[in-house]
Amino acid sequence: MGDKAVGFVGLGIMGRPMARNLMRAGYSLTVYDVVGSAVEELVTDGAQSAGSAREVAERTPVVITMVPDSADSEAAILGEGGALEGASPGSAVLDMSSIAPATSQKIGAACDAAQVEFLDAPVSGGEPKAIDGTLAIMVGGKREAFERHKEIFDILGSSIVLCGGYGAGNTTKLANQIVVAANIEAVAEALVLAKKAGLDPNTVYQAIRGGLAGSTVMDAKAPMIIEGDFKPGFRVRLHQKDLHNALLTGKDLGVPLPVTSLVQQMLGALINDGKGDADHSAIANFIEDMAGVTVSGE
């Protein structure tokens, strides 16, 4: 199969377009997901299917995993039928999932023991940047492994930074998720206030986006809040999971994260309200409900 053979485990909102970008760049892909329809979609595009992560690793020298949380990464890599069972010494596992840094360190140690290269390489940018191949990729692991597999990251992202050893990619991702969550919450408060004051939220957004308040988050999420369009690019329940991991990491390190904790509770309330699969811009729904006003309403 040659050097251009890559395995991909986890074909969700992010994994599917990432896998497609690798195929477009000339890589031969072997894919696996617990959801059969996701596999069929990629097979239609030209990928080969496998029956487990182990089988993917048996057939490819590099396996990318893109799964929801720590337990999923452990299962896909270290578990029964996992990638490490099928991997040969000298092969590589690139875990692009957003998980707890301590779990990345555990997986990295297991890979070291099996003489398999490991990088934790979570991403930021949501579905639009996964489709465009312009993700920000934060990597933890050994520099030699990073240099060897950077060509793959260059296809998937536009910003690729080696942040430190195992777990450093995911610690950086948690820092990213804190900033994004607090930003969305602030944008939501601002637009709800503007709406209840009788102003046009879009006019307020246009007036402030060019000043110090402007941000990538605002430009991505304010239009969604204004339109009342919460179709997921990144789901509420996944951001709640990330902030949970941030709080656990903060606890381990003795770092209070008071605003992170507050927004995490808001996300938890939205999940209880049946909005776990909405886009994380639905943080606005929490503020709207408290204020008794809808930004997108008349």
- Reported as a single tens digit per residue, the pLDDT across 147-178 is 999 999 999 999 999 999 999 999 999 999 99
Query: Tell me, what DSSP letter sits at residue 279?
Result: B
Phi-psi region of 82 (alpha: psi -120 to 50; beta: other; left: phi over 0): beta
Would you say 118 and 112 are in contact if contact means Cβ atoms under 8 Å apart?
yes
Would you say 156 and 22 are in contact if contact means Cβ atoms under 8 Å apart?
yes
Would you say 31 and 140 are in contact if contact means Cβ atoms under 8 Å apart?
no
Sign, CA torsion 237/161/140/145: positive
pLDDT at 17: 97
pLDDT tens for 67-87 read: 999 999 999 999 999 999 999
Active site annotation includes 173: yes
Topology given in CATH for the domain delimited by 172-291: N-(1-d-carboxylethyl)-l-norvaline Dehydrogenase; domain 2 (1.10.1040)
- Among 106, 129, 173, 221, the one annotated catalytic: 173
**With 70 as the cut, is the pLDDT of residue 126 above it?**
yes
Question: Which has more pLDDT, 298 or 223?
Answer: 223
The residues of the chain that CATH labels 1.10.1040.10 are: 172-291
Topology given in CATH for the domain delimited by 5-165: Rossmann fold (3.40.50)
Q: Whose CA is closest to 241, among 268, 272, 281?
A: 268
pLDDT grade, residue 53 (50/70/90)?
A: very high
Give me the amino acid identity at 266.
Answer: M
pLDDT tens for 127-139 read: 889 999 999 999 9
Helix axis angle for 236-253 and 168-196, nearest 10°, is 120
Q: What is the mean pLDDT of the chain?
A: 96
pLDDT tens for 210-269 read: 999 999 999 999 999 999 999 998 899 999 999 999 999 999 999 999 999 999 999 999
The residues of the chain that CATH labels 3.40.50.720 are: 5-165
pLDDT at 233: 85
Q: E-strand spans in the chain?
A: 5-9, 28-32, 48-49, 62-65, 92-95, 117-120, 123-124, 135-141, 157-164
Phi-psi region of 141 (alpha: psi -120 to 50; beta: other; left: phi over 0): left
